[in-house]
Structure formats: structure tokens, C-alpha cells
Amino acid sequence: MKVNVNKDACIGCGACVSICEDVFEFDDEGMSKVIKEEVPSDLESDVKEAVESCPTAAIEEK
């Protein structure tokens, strides 16, 4: 599983970071960014929860 954050859609709410800080973190502008594009299998369920929790659908599975 691969994941990406659409910077144009991200509002920096932090849901993804709070759900899975091993894959997401804030950049210098306070927006979410992916720190592990290739998601380890043990984190896939957390990433899927983050995708579903994103209020702007900015997180995209590749």
C-alpha cells in the first residue's frame, strides 16, 4: 500500500497525524505530509482509518 497527501486539499487538521504518526507528520507550513510512502503492512489499518477520517479527502491511496 502506498499513500500520498494532496497538498492542495489538506487543511492541516491533524487527524491523520494523531491516528498514525508513524506515516504522517506536519510539514513546516502545518500541513500533513507522508513520511513513509510505502506503508508497512502492520500500519495499513491505521492509514485506512486516517484516509477515512480526513475531512477534505486529501489522503490518497496509490
The series of mean pLDDT values per 10 residues for the chain, 62 residues long, is: 96 98 97 95 97 97 88
Residues 6+ apart with CB under 8 A from 59: 3, 4, 5, 6, 16, 32, 47, 50, 51
Q: How far is CA 2 from the centre of its chain?
A: 11
Residue ranges per structural domain of the chain: 3-61
Class of the 3-61 domain? Answer: alpha beta
pLDDT at res. 49: 97
* Per-residue confidence (pLDDT) for residue 62, from 0 to 100: 85
pLDDT score, position 24: 98
- pLDDT value at residue 46: 97
How is residue 39 written as a grid cell?
A: 506503508
**Separation of alpha carbons 56 and 6, rounded Å:** 10
